[in-house]
Chains A and B, each alone.
Chain A
Amino acid sequence: MNVDLRFPLGLLFVVFGGLLTLFGLFTDRAAYERSLFINVNLWWGLVMLLFGGLMFLAAWKEAQNKKDAGKR
């Protein structure tokens, strides 16, 4: 197996989610007129951050397990 895809996938979503969350925190309500006054950047950013984090964590855990198995 090459590279566990969940690493790059998780990384990209953490980066995008983090960017959107931060941008959402620092933008005012007027910016969200289009999105029915819902701060989609903040909320969806958090969802993406969570998804990316979980992907990354799952891949990292599996890599650790493999390493441990290799030691034994």
Chain B
Amino acid sequence: MKRCTRESKIGLGDSNTCAKREPASQSLLPPLRNFAPTMHSSNELQWIDYLIILIYFVFVLGIGFVLKRFVKTSADFLLSGRSIPAWIAGLAFLSANLGAQEVIGMAASGAKYGIATSHFYWLGAIPAMVFVGIFMMPFYYGSKAKSVPDYLSLRYDEKTRAFNAFSFAGMTMMSSGISMYAMALLLQTIHIFDTPFRALGLPNSWVFHVSIITSAVIVLGYIYLGGLTSAIYNEVIQFFLIVAGFFPLVCLGLKNVGGWTGLTQKLPPAYTHAWHGMDNPQHNLLGVDWFGLVMGLGFVLSFGYWCTDFLVIQRAMAANSMAAARRVPLIASVPKMLFPFLVILPGLIALALTNPVNQNATLPDQPNQSPPALENQSAQQGMIPPQTNPETGQIVKDASGKVVLDYNMVIPNMLLHYFPSGMLGLGLTALLASFMSGMAGNVTAFNTVWTYDIFKAYIRRDATDANLLVVGQLATFFGVALSVGVAYFVAAFNNIMDVLQLVFAFVNAPLFATFLLGMFWKRATGHGAFFGLISGTFAAAVHHGLTISAGSTPGVKGAWIATVHTYPSQMAQNFWTAIYAWTVCFVVTIVISLLTKPRREEDLKGLVYSLTERATETGGRWFLRPVPVGIGVLLLTLILNLIFR
């Protein structure tokens, strides 16, 4: 409690971090009305770039058409008929989460917070992924539940399922809409599609509308045709495209700044050391202390997301066997561990190029640089542009008059900076693929929950499977339409991830307490779970309503009831909101469970740890068994943390 009463005066988190680099950005960037990402005239795409994007669009729809003939029942459409091999489900498990918030948001956070952003992977994902694979998958997969809410109805009761199903359905649509909005805004902002639009006599703002409609139609098309399998296949292809598009980008960027050594020389130590100054929120860029980081991110938010969010769990539940289902999160954790190098490093590189330390130093790796290139280089210092008001074109400034930087432009500007025509098309395709598959992940999770946990459970209990298949297909249509609606209503935040963290905190944070108790404590009851969840979510809202981060104005960023406490950063506030929500849910669930009648033990077989036969996978080679692989993954993550401490 004492921790939360600390007042901060010079918080380093969020809006304040940019203040530190603000002199550089202010002097280097002329106040253009419409900021063009590069001064290069060749911001235009060539035919090859359009061709690559077009081939990709045709290809994803083609996959839908090919897979259409395998869709015969609602289980084929919504659960892939439980037929997906472990490696495919594993990469899809990773990719479903690799939407806008990952690719754009993580690079943005890389530029904003430095390598400490990797905590969102090494601390905020890997342990939870190992845990869900080893300990939780036996119940999700073994119970034959169709979805995460369905598991809740088997383990607890209908009201717990209903609460989870409705809140989850709402949340996925929100994420999907945010993803769409982010993509459309980005494509409009980078101005690369201006020429064809001008040729058609359409203003630049139409890039936004066309992006939304195109992505909606394509995602709808391939899911409607091939269902979950189609989404999973496209997610795996998207995974490889992201690697293919970003790996050369990181290589070129690193070569440009002189490798990792060059980065450490050009940036302050806080940016290249993940655990730098974690003793005190004032000493690190995230504005959090180690306890808040480990408990809030590493435990509550991370386990709440990776162990209970149907968006990812659905991929594992589509696996073709129990052994495969348990391997899915573990397979996903290996690339996940390495992804910071692909998505966070671009942010650091962009920052190193903007940093004034770098300004006069000639870049060592370019001996034959022509004068125009040098001129170009100095214009490119503004790799991270300031935010502009979309209506007035004015540069956005915070309360203290500091320029607010648009960190979300890191990835697109890096692509435009380093990629020539050809690779640029590939890089943009990777970006589009990530946006679309993030959206597709949400839509497939939504249509399953809608069909089985809302329609079948509460609207028409006697629905036949043919009915359910139609409902699933209609839900896909409905879900995409809803996403489009959300996309148009999304308010602008500096960093998309902050919004998502807020959503997770309210809805997901208490959830893990419910699942943990449900799977490992047979005494937990439906009443306990339901009221635990309600009070956890309520606690999250109240905590958010009573606290605020330094430098924010009361309202959507918190303190909409009263300002009781000020956190050094928005991230710290989110982590602590999650910690409170989880704790309240945990305690309330236990208390109410003890006061209510327990369920008969026979009914809980296969649903609770102590009443379920252990999955014995002692035979076989070690790398096919979950426990040794899980330990190996955790050890490697520890080593990465030690290297980048």
Residues of A in contact with B (beta carbons under 8 Å apart): 1-3, 5, 8-9, 12-13, 15-16, 19-20, 23-24, 27, 31-38, 40-41, 44-45, 48, 51
Judge whether B67 and A2 touch: CB under 8 Å.
yes
Hey, which chain B residues are within 8 Å of A19, CB to CB? Answer: 48, 51-52, 55, 422
Judge whether A48 and B422 touch: CB under 8 Å.
no
Q: Which residue of B lies closest to A15 (CB)?
A: B55
Q: Which 3 A-B pairs have the closest CB atoms?
A: A41-B422, A23-B422, A2-B70
Hey, which chain A residues are within 8 Å of B51, CB to CB? Answer: 19
Known: A37-B368, A44-B244. 13 other contacts (CB 8 A): A2-B229, A8-B59, A12-B237, A13-B244, A16-B52, A16-B55, A19-B52, A31-B421, A33-B370, A36-B255, A37-B366, A40-B252, A44-B248
Q: Which residues B308-325 have CB closer than 8 A to chain A?
A: 320
* Sample (6) of A-B pairs whose CB atoms are under 8 Å apart: A12-B55, A16-B55, A36-B365, A37-B366, A40-B422, A48-B244
In the complex, whether B640 has a CB less than 8 A from a CB of chain A is: no
Choice from A40, A48, A51 contacting B420 with Cβ under 8 Å = A40
Hey, which chain B residues are within 8 Å of A12, CB to CB? Answer: 55-56, 59, 237
User: In the assembly, what is the distance between CA of A31 and CA of B51, in Å?
Assistant: 18
- Minimum C-beta distance from B21 to chain A (A): 24
Judge whether A41 and B420 touch: CB under 8 Å.
yes
Choice from A20, A27, A32 contacting B426 with Cβ under 8 Å = A20
Judge whether B252 and A36 touch: CB under 8 Å.
yes
Q: Which residue of B lies closest to A1 (CB)?
A: B83
Judge whether B418 and A35 touch: CB under 8 Å.
yes
User: In the assembly, what is the distance between CA of A53 and CA of B255, in Å?
Assistant: 28
Number of B residues with CB within 8 Å of any CB on chain A: 41
Judge whether B373 and A33 touch: CB under 8 Å.
yes
Q: Which residue of A lies closest to B320 (CB)?
A: A1
Judge whether A9 and B365 touch: CB under 8 Å.
no
Contacts A5-B236, A36-B255; A20 near B422 (Cβ below 8 A): yes
- Minimum C-beta distance from B551 to chain A (A): 37
Hey, which chain A residues are within 8 Å of B366, CB to CB? Answer: 36-37
Choice from B56, B62, B67, B422 contacting A24 with Cβ under 8 Å = B422
Hey, which chain B residues are within 8 Å of A38, CB to CB? Answer: 252
In the complex, whether B478 has a CB less than 8 A from a CB of chain A is: no
Judge whether A8 and B237 touch: CB under 8 Å.
yes
Judge whether A35 and B48 touch: CB under 8 Å.
no
Hey, which chain A residues are within 8 Å of B229, CB to CB? Answer: 2
In the complex, whether B63 has a CB less than 8 A from a CB of chain A is: yes
In the complex, whether B88 has a CB less than 8 A from a CB of chain A is: yes
User: In the assembly, what is the distance between CA of A19 and CA of B59, in Å?
Assistant: 15
- Minimum C-beta distance from B160 to chain A (A): 34
- Minimum C-beta distance from B236 to chain A (A): 6
Q: Which residue of A lies closest to B380 (CB)?
A: A34
Hey, which chain B residues are within 8 Å of A34, CB to CB? Answer: 40, 417-420
- Minimum C-beta distance from B128 to chain A (A): 26
Choice from A5, A44, A48 contacting B233 with Cβ under 8 Å = A5
Judge whether A2 and B83 touch: CB under 8 Å.
yes
Hey, which chain B residues are within 8 Å of A8, CB to CB? Answer: 59, 62-63, 66, 233, 237
Judge whether B419 and A35 touch: CB under 8 Å.
yes
In the complex, whether B604 has a CB less than 8 A from a CB of chain A is: no
Contact with A along B78-90 (1 / 0, CB 8 A): 0000010100100
In the complex, whether B256 has a CB less than 8 A from a CB of chain A is: yes
User: In the assembly, what is the distance between CA of A23 and CA of B67, in Å?
Assistant: 32
In the complex, whether B521 has a CB less than 8 A from a CB of chain A is: no
In the complex, whether B622 has a CB less than 8 A from a CB of chain A is: no
Judge whether A1 and B426 touch: CB under 8 Å.
no
Judge whether A36 and B256 touch: CB under 8 Å.
yes
In the complex, whether B588 has a CB less than 8 A from a CB of chain A is: no
Judge whether B52 and A5 touch: CB under 8 Å.
no
Judge whether A35 and B420 touch: CB under 8 Å.
yes
Choice from B67, B252, B376 contacting A35 with Cβ under 8 Å = B252
Hey, which chain B residues are within 8 Å of A37, CB to CB? Answer: 366, 368
In the complex, whether B341 has a CB less than 8 A from a CB of chain A is: no
In the complex, whether B423 has a CB less than 8 A from a CB of chain A is: yes
In the complex, whether B240 has a CB less than 8 A from a CB of chain A is: yes
